[in-house]
Amino acid sequence: MTADLKPVLDGLKPLSRLDSPREMIRQFTPNWFAATMGTGILALALPQVPGVGASLHPVGEALWYFNIALFTLFAGLYTARWTMFGHEARRIFGHNTVSMFIGTIPMGLATIINGFLAFGLPRFGAGVIPIAETLWWIDVAMSLA
């Protein structure tokens, strides 16, 4: 391997710069949930495009499923951070910038809830309504906390 390629190849291994994989959990912050906000709104907006929305509905639904997986992954990592590194996780409330991203968690969940009505209802039927309602109340509680 030439020295010129080393930085490129190291970029393909994002965890290689950490002392251990646990560092990924320790350094995980809620700003990652902004990705679920963007993915979720794109999933909801695609079927609404005038003239071609019906053809984009499957793409939107696939993005909604991806968004659920992304949100679940991020929620797991952030929960692990609070469980394993709670003393460090608490410091976020005193940080001028990162503390502003706490709101991205309920906003990202809101796109999933709306997706249950836009995609889940036609696909799975009325059984998704109680799921959406329960998630909505959880979202309200997180928003007010």
pLDDT tens by residue, 68-81: 999 999 999 999 99
Tell me whether residue 17 is in a domain: no
Tell me whether residue 83 is in a domain: yes
Tell me whether residue 50 is in a domain: yes
**What DSSP state is assigned to residue 18?**
S
Tell me whether residue 119 is in a domain: yes
Query: What pTM does this model have?
Result: 0.86
State the number of CA atoms in the 13 A half-sphere of 127 facing the CB.
3
Tell me whether residue 7 is in a domain: no
| pLDDT averaged per 10 residues, the chain (length 145) | 64 73 90 96 96 93 98 97 92 89 96 97 96 97 91
Tell me whether residue 84 is in a domain: yes
Tell me whether residue 14 is in a domain: no
Q: Which domain holds residue 31?
A: 26-144
Tokens of 82: 């609070």
Q: How many domains does the chain have?
A: 1
d(CA 47, CA 84): 41
- Residue-level pLDDT at 20: 81
Identity of the amino acid at 77 = L
Tell me whether residue 9 is in a domain: no
- Domain with residue 112: its CATH number is 1.50.10.150
